[in-house]
Amino acid sequence: MRFPIEVHNKFIPVSGFSWMTWLVFCFTRKPKDVHLEGTTRRHELVHVVQQGELSVLFTVILLPIAIHFSFAWWAWTLVILGILFAGWICYGISNAIEFFCPPFGKSYYYTCWETEAYNHEDDPGYLRRRIPIWGSLKHIPNRLVRHK
């Protein structure tokens, strides 16, 4: 099985986007005979790795909180939602930060997640030499953004 796993559907992602990654799945509204290839596959694969790392990080942070609160229902909910949507949560937070900081109007491209994915989507060997977590964090400075 090749990752990310394509999910063709009628609703996700919203208009204006062609593919949207969630954990190991990549959603598209494109016809079933259109597949992830080359540059786009490598781009989305970077997002799969980013989201996997963030899910592990959220597990390490949230699980002790749930244990501390004796596994109350809300603590379990927090842990499960946090693990499943760690990537989207961090993506949303960094998008909001970029939205309120210059340069304005391009917050999507200026998140470290997109900067990393766009900067390395042409490099087939990138994920093999990438340092976990640091691969994303080092792309926080906006001067590293090549795709505009």
Which residues here bind Zn ion, judged by CB under 5 A?
114, 117
Q: Which is nearer to Zn ion, 52 or 75 (CB)?
A: 52
Q: Which is nearer to Zn ion, 6 or 114 (CB)?
A: 114
Joined tokens for residue 116: 């990393």
Instruction: Report in angstroms how near the CB of residue 115 gets to Zn ion at its nearest.
Output: 10
Q: Which is nearer to Zn ion, 58 or 111 (CB)?
A: 111
Q: Which is nearer to Zn ion, 24 or 80 (CB)?
A: 24
Joined tokens for residue 109: 């491209």
Please tell me the distance from the alpha carbon of residue 66 to that of residue 46, in angstroms, as a whole number. 30
Please tell me the distance from the alpha carbon of residue 5 to that of residue 106, in angstroms, as a whole number. 28
Q: List the one residue out of 79, 20, 63, 64 whose CA is nearest residue 44.
A: 20
Instruction: Give, for 87, the enclosing helix (H) or strand (E).
Output: helix 86-99
Instruction: Report in angstroms how near the CB of residue 103 gets to Zn ion at its nearest.
Output: 18
Instruction: Report in angstroms how near the CB of residue 46 gets to Zn ion at its nearest.
Output: 8
Joined tokens for residue 50: 């980013």
Instruction: Report in angstroms how near the CB of residue 43 gets to Zn ion at its nearest.
Output: 6
- Residue with the CB atom nearest Zn ion in the bound state: 117
